Structure 1
Amino acid sequence: MGSKQFTAKPGFWASLFLPRKWKLAFTPKIPDRLRLSLKQSTELPFATITAIATRKGLLWSAIEIRSTGRTDILGGLSSEAAVTLSEQLLCAINHYLVSTIESDKAQLIEIDEAIQTLTRSGHQYLALGDINQTIASVSGNAAKAIAHPLFDIERVPQAIVHQFPASLSMLADRDERQRYNSRFIASELTRYDMFFSDLDGRSLSQEQREACIRLENNNLLIASAGSGKTATMVGKVAYVLDKGLCRPEEILVLAFNNDAAKELRERLAEQLKVNAANLVCQVSTFHALGRSIIQQVEGKPPQLANWVDHPAGESKLIDQMINELRQSNPVFEKLWTQLLVLYPKADAPVEVFDSEEDFRRYISDRNRRNGATISTLSGIYVKSLQEQRIANWLWLNSIPFEYELQIPIGEKGGERRYDEYSDDSFRCAKLNRGILGYAAL
């Protein structure tokens, strides 16, 4: 793997519109840093760069370089140029890191011992971040290079990879780490069976227990309403504290609204056997967290809109916006009227129900209420909300119709009998001289 000299800057047309011009340069003569020219020239040492990403814009793309204490967004690039520059940067950084490792190969033995101590204890689930943290705890430049957030072992020449100790297979082979974690989870489920059987006032399911034990850098838990997500969050906090993997002040639990945050705080306090007011773990809403961060940085809380703290402030603001749109936009006025007429009351979404069967039962109850008792704009009464929408739509579009049209049926002896058109999915509407069939909306 080599690293070549390169220089990047915005295209000619893009530079005419950018607020400030920039130039980024790298030369192998100075292999451990970039030179960035903005208003003045500055250096970005590779050891301080933590992330590189590309951003796509409407006209041009940009590349984002995050370093310790600063973030530089360099725009005015074509999509292809941004991708090329990102690859050049990663290549240069990894070439520098590999060179650093090669210059201190003896330290690989210490790194190997540290990783083996971690895996031999079998004390915790191993996320990739845990392995990097263990490597970073070893003093020396080689350890810092391997623990660098942009170190990519797949960019390391095979001749050098073969010199790495076997323990570093945790970095090189994703399956190796997964095999270790699978063995750990099976063992931990047995070891903590009594703990999870009486947690937060209930016994957690097998899936909930595994969700508590898995401690990847990022975990995505997908679960339906009422399936025990709150209990799982409480269980995860209790588990990591019991294992001694975190201190209470290092834990942040976030909820979307105040009621959910209050419930989480109370249930956590009850599980940890402390008063909710004395709970050291931080439990907050996303908005409260953002506000506290701004206050810490700026020294004062952010100024909020004057309607935020009013009990009906949000509703009044939305009403004002809708009224302004109705007066200025005829298309919106028509669509808004149709929305109110055809969907006068929104159904509860399926996500709030414990099962799809409960949702269907709820819809069935709403749709059929003791015969034709639901009024429509045309003055007739129908039997379901779907039929109400159909009748209102026909009325809005000036289409004459008859609800539950009687169909004459001839019988023996010349007698005629009248039956309703009774298909569950269709009703009939008269339009001029024909019959219009329409499906329930």
Structure 2
Amino acid sequence: MTSSKSQSQAWKPSKWGQIFTGSPEWRLQLEGEDFVLVLNGEDHRTPIRDDAVMRVQPGLFWADVALSPGSDHELKVDGLPNAQAVALQAALDSVLSEQRLRRDTDFVLKGYATIQDWLRQITGILQQAEIDRRWIPYETQSSLLAAWPALDGETLEARFQQAAVKDRLGKKGQNIETALRLWKCRWQPDWVQINEKHTLRELSACKVLLDSVESRPLTEEQARAVICFDNRVQVVASAGSGKTSIMVAKAAYAIHRGFMAPQNIVLMAFNKKAAEELKDRAIRSFERLGMDGNGVEATTFHALGLGIIGKATGKKPDVPAWATDTGASCEKILEIVDRLKDQSDEFRTRWDMFRMVFGRDLSPPGQPVEGDAWDRMGTALIKTLDGQRVRSQEEAIICNWLFYNGVHYEYERPYETDTADVTHRQYKPDFYYPDIQLYHEHFALDAEGKAPPQFKDYVEGVKWKRQLHHDMGTALIETTSHQVRNGGVFEHLAHELTSRGVKLDPNPNRPIPQGAIRPMEAMELAYLVRSFISHAKSNCLNSTDLRRRLDAMPEGSFKYRHRMFLDLFEPIIANWDRALAEDGGVDFEDMLNMAAEHVEQGRCQVPYDLVMADEFQDASRARARLCHAMVQKPGRHFFAVGDDWQSINRFAGADVSVMTDFERWFDHGQLLKLEQTFRCPQALCDVSSHFVTKNPTQIRKRVHSDTPAVGPVLQAFEVSKERELERAVGEFLASLYQGICAGHIPLGRHGNVSVFFLGRYRADKPEHLRRWKSQYGSKIELSFVTIHSSKGSEADYVILPSMISRLRGLSFPSTRTDDPVLQMAMPSGDNFPQGEERRLFYVALTRARRSVIMFTVKGERSTFLDELVADKAVTVTNLHGEKIEEQRCPACKRGVIVTRTGPFGEFQSCSNYPACEYKPSSKDYPKNRKKLSEILSHL
């Protein structure tokens, strides 16, 4: 082997090696990165590309050498002295090492070049954004991250960390190390820092605009919301936090900074009044900034949707008056129903049957039910159409079916044989049909004959009853919970009764006894259908979708009732849509979906680069879809302002999830909060926030206020009878008026004191309001609105004149829940008990700048007021300020224990008597009961 590195290295066998191994003459030479083997006068060149190109196998004295071992072209020679074999292996290893080093270095440099290209893109965008004073939006971030070099990071890092590679790279290694660190880092925090620096610069650079755009300077959190120009921004605004201000200010900022022209900005509101307010506020703000002539568009969702359809189709549709007003819509539905009744006896029967028999839903098997009354043990009792009080919802449905069909029956009539003994009370079968001497037991059994788990020994009782009838030879028919829930009970009952001579006489106009439950009125059912139409269309659900949703409902659902409703709904909505077509119009729900589809499919190009939506907590899915469609093109911005704590319009199609699950609806989203309120004092903020956030699905925020307190923020007064409420309210107003005249109570911002009467219902409007205005109008501005209508408004004092909870009728919180059939068409909402009513109460509390005054009635105190009392937020007093303590009835959980006077003297009972029959045990009665002899002496 030659020793000069400048010459080729060569190896050959020794003489003795040839003799003893029998190897022919050969010569192996290393030329660059090739081995050349000269054998039998021929040259064989083998490139060195991997460590398997050659095998050197030392023997006792001599080594054999194989080129391309194991291949079809393997060449093998022998007789190389072992010492030279070591040198040969070293030469091979040196070449391979150099190749690996070069390969690793090239791998690192290639990866570095790719990363550098990507980093140059980022640097260019960041530099341009700084020059233009622009926010780095999500779309830009995403596009850069999408272009992120998908390299083998572990391999790249491992090869770069080799000392030999670093030595070869020299000073360039420092740049590579920096690039690798930037490539591997999590970029989200960096974007946040970059945008935060941008925000701080803009807060300073645009201070004049931010301080002047509204009548008072924007707070920092308001200003940050204005400056944040991400593609999708959700602002969760506290009540009274100035959400309208930031919408107007954002439009002014965008125009001032040259981000977009005025005609490319739109402000969307839910009604015409709100849209006009946005427009007026924008005009005033632009004038204040010297930006006259830069007005932006402010419109309603409906007007915008109609305009889109007009542009896409060349013909702007009409929305018939009967499709907009709830009352008119229900009248239209009843017209459709009358026509369908005339055309189909089957439809007529279904409509009447649903109203009469299926007006109420069923609770899941075994769950506690809400009754119309309670016995003294707290067992719920349910009223029927014929005035019965029965012990289960299923029995009530059977009673109503029997009444509707004119079947004479007796409920829980004692069995004809005395059965009372040590272990059994007198047996009272559920139903008895005296005309045919037939007993009927309704058993709480499922399809497998099993009772709910909590019904201990129930099945044994069933067996006992069956055996008794068998032994006594009395006729018995049975129905089960399973039959009621799948609808089979009615066919079964009809067969059992008619086969025994009973004639069924269906009559929806049969007189209802006084005191009985009233059937579902036709208008009520029409309203339910109208609501269902609205929700189904808002959620883009057709009949197939609705049937699929029905099938997916939990097993405990009363699916038979839901199926009956769909059987009514489908022909009605078909005729509804036909009537719209005949009038050449659409309803609002169809209009929103049609507009969204035109934009989605590119049939109409909307010019807006900045779309802002007010009161977004009340958006339906159809509205959310339209908003999403309008900003689907890259480079557009959607800015939604709302407060999920004030989402109170689910009945009108609102889906609170568009706020609470904003990122899912709009693919991504920047969440900002306005937590400072300019309205309520801090104590009222604390009480109202604590109340509404007991619902864990509400977005958390910490509401704070600098508004000074003026007197107690919460007051609650209780009177003995409902008829005393107006007098109590009048006395409070008189006291307030006297305090103002005496100077003890300061005047409000408009030179008087404003008072809102807020009602859960329109019927809560005080009868004496006009007289009170006449009496106190010089100092007090009085007005009444419903809580639903009060959003966006405020007053110094808020009076809630009817904080009452009743078994039936007008209550706050309302005891009337959404009909379960709506679940097939409505968004899921949240499952927190009375979630929407709690948000409604929050709205009521947060209308006040000073104080909320609540009035209630003994024994009918609102459960919400009870909750505030339990939280020590307020104390209920009489008009003299004396604290009132009440003992809640343990049976109905609604009434309170009161003292009454009867023929035997004073006694205690529930204030809901006779609906609730609970009386405390005699040992708890007052000591001063009259003696029987005293009572008899006066008879």
If asked which structure has higher relative contact order (CA below 8 Å, sep 6+), I would say: 2
For the pair shown, which has the larger CA radius of gyration, 1 or 2?
2
